[in-house]
A and B are shown apart, each in its own frame.
Chain A
Amino acid sequence: MTLSLVLFLIGILGFILNRKNIILMIISIEIMLLAVTLLALVSSYQFDDIMGQTYAVYIIAIAGAESAIGLGILVAYYRLRGNISLRS
């Protein structure tokens, strides 16, 4: 519980403090998804219910889709602009 909350806070702070680095922003989203999945898993373990682990499998699939789309957009942006700087 505490681990997932601290990891979620690290993800939020990494998203806010690195506004210029879009790769680090996507990585922070991944850390936040990891924290949420950890919370679901630890809760399912505590309540002795398999539903949380079933849900964690869905979250893992969605996280893979999200990172693939984000990195695809990043590569397309880099081809258009020549850099990935967010500040114009």
Chain B
Amino acid sequence: MNTFLLDLLAFGAVLSGVLVITSKNPVISVLFLISVFVNAAGYLLLLGVGFVGISYLIVYVGAIAILFLFVVMMLNIQLTEIVSVGREYTKNLPLGFIVGSLFFFEVLSVLPASYSDAGELPLGLFNYINGLFLGVNSSFTSSDVHMTFSGPGADDSFTGFLQIEAIGQGLYTYGSLWLLLGSIILLLAMLGPITLCMRSASDK
């Protein structure tokens, strides 16, 4: 039953993604981008990755997509400037076809066949080897690993604090330098648009 909902959310995400890149109006495209983010966040929540799914909703839908919508509605864009029709559109099609085929070729040739399905990693083998060393006859299958990690429902995974505690432990101990680096990048991202807008205002 969970798998059906996951497939439904994945299909919704892919369908909304196709509608993002094919719609002519940028406002419609940003609205479908919000739909992609909501579907991906629901996918993650249902999978059991609760905290990052919720922060997807906050960061992407609440900040980034609204920023896009604000910029798109602030700029006075003529649709004839940005919509490429006829020959201008079809001249990009061979490049897209070539890059898409190369992508499929790389994915199908580089990745091993057992890795292409996300639910079938050989976790049972690892557990068997661990059981040999530890002297415990643990016969977990991969589905048991899923159940012990995620919990049965979507709301269990973010009412318990275990996941957030683990992420915070990782962020503030061995990843603290990266956290500082990310904060510096965010500071630059704040200073950059301010500098750009101030310079164009002083030129008048």
Contact = CB atoms under 8 A, between A and B. Distances in A.
Nearest to A7: B17
In this complex, the interface size class of chain A, counting residues with CB under 8 Å from chain B, is: 35 or more
Interface of B: 10, 13-14, 17-18, 20-21, 26, 29-30, 33, 36-37, 40, 43-44, 47-49, 51-52, 55-56, 59-60, 63-64, 67-68, 71-72, 74-75, 77-78, 81-84, 88-89, 92-93, 95-96, 99-100, 103-104, 107, 115-118, 121, 123, 145, 149-150, 163, 166-167, 169-171, 175, 178-179, 182, 185-186, 188-190, 192-193, 196-197, 199-200
B33 A30 contact: yes
Contact of B75 (A7, A8, A54, A84): A84
A61 B200 contact: no
Contacts of A22: 82
For the complex of A and B, list the 7 residue pairs with the smallest distance between their C-beta atoms, beginning with the closest. Answer: A72-B193, A14-B21, A65-B189, A54-B170, A1-B118, A76-B196, A10-B17
B14 A85 contact: no
The A interface, classified by DSSP as helix, strand, loop or mixed, is: helix
Given A7-B17, A42-B118, A27 B186 contact: no
Contacts of B56: 60
Contact of B186 (A9, A16, A65, A79): A65
Given A1-B118, A3-B43, A73-B196, 16 more contacts: A1-B117, A6-B17, A17-B92, A27-B20, A27-B68, A30-B33, A34-B37, A45-B49, A53-B170, A57-B52, A65-B185, A66-B189, A72-B193, A72-B196, A75-B193, A85-B81
A13 B166 contact: no
Contacts of B84: 18-21
Given A72-B197, A75-B71, A75-B193, A3 B13 contact: yes
Contacts of B78: 83
Nearest to A39: B118
Given A1-B117, A31-B20, A42-B118, A62 B67 contact: no
A88 to B, nearest CB: 12
B157 to A, nearest CB: 11
Contact of B77 (A6, A76, A84): A84
Contact of B21 (A17, A53, A75, A84): A17
Given A1-B117, A64-B59, A74 B186 contact: no
